[in-house]
Amino acid sequence: MKIAVFGSGRGSNFEALLRAKIPNADFSLVISNKKDARILELGSENGIKTKAFKSSEFSEENENIVLDFLLENGIELIVLAGFLRKISATIIQKYSNKIINIHPALLPSFGGIGMYGKYIHEAVLKSGTQFSGPTVHFVNENYDEGPIILQETVPVLFEDSTDDLAKRVLEVEHRIFAKALDLVINGKFEIKGKRVKFC
């Protein structure tokens, strides 16, 4: 399956996906909105085609620029690995249940606009919840609201700083993202509303 990975930052999740050697996962493209993002270098180092679009080229008005590029390259699945722009509605419709994202908290809590990076872990600590953990989900038209594929919990400790918590969640992200991608590519699944069942 031909996959495009979208990312804006360091790409540690993408690295974990590469390391996992998932059967039938053909990472064909790495796309970013930041031309100096480490994730693009990682793509090049692994012989994968890379492309940086301007942030404005991800907007609804210009959505065909990115969409056409995906179609020209025969992309069948999109993986969002730390991508900080919203995916346009047309791309989401065209790739319905074919876009997956990883979020470093237990959705449906701690998601939505403004919930990215350290802000997520700050909100988790402030809430007093005793558990956090990553969520891998399909992407629909609403931020962080698509059907959930996999989640795993980690404890939130009284002494935790946002960095401590982010680090603990990230370790689990690297494991479950690869597992979820494998399930999506190689497993059979059924989606009913927001619920996903793997058979």
Farthest-apart Cα atoms in the chain, separation: 50
Q: How open is the CA angle 56-59-62, to the nearest 5 degrees? A: 85
* Nearest distance from C-beta of residue 192 to ligand GRF, angstroms: 26
**Residue whose CB is nearest to ligand GRF in the complex, by number:** 82
Binding site for ligand GRF (CB under 6 A): 7, 9-13, 81-82, 102-104, 170, 173
Cα(71)–Cα(135) distance, integer angstroms: 28
Helices marked H in the chain: 12-20, 38-45, 63-72, 89-94, 118-127, 162-186
Indicate which residue of 103, 121, 137, 174 is catalytic: 103
Instruction: Look up 174 and say whether it is catalytic.
Output: no
Q: Which CB sits closer to ligand GRF, 11 or 146?
A: 11
CB of 142 to ligand GRF, least distance (A): 16
Least distance to ligand GRF from the beta carbon of 72, Å?
26
Q: Is the CB of 53 or the CB of 177 nearer to ligand GRF?
A: 177
**Whole-number minimum distance, CB 49 to ligand GRF, in Å?**
19
Q: What is the dihedral of CA 136, 114, 89, 15, to 10 degrees?
A: -40
Q: Provide the angle, in degrees to the nearest 10, between the axes of the packed helices 162-186 and 12-20.
A: 40
Choose between 98 and 103: whose C-beta lies nearer to ligand GRF: 103
Please report, to the nearest 10 degrees, the dihedral formed by the alpha carbons of residues 171, 47, 26, 92 taken in order. Answer: 80
The radius of gyration of the chain's CA atoms, rounded to the nearest angstrom, is: 16
Our CB check for ligand GRF shows the closer of 113 and 199 to be 113
Q: Which residue numbers are catalytic?
A: 103
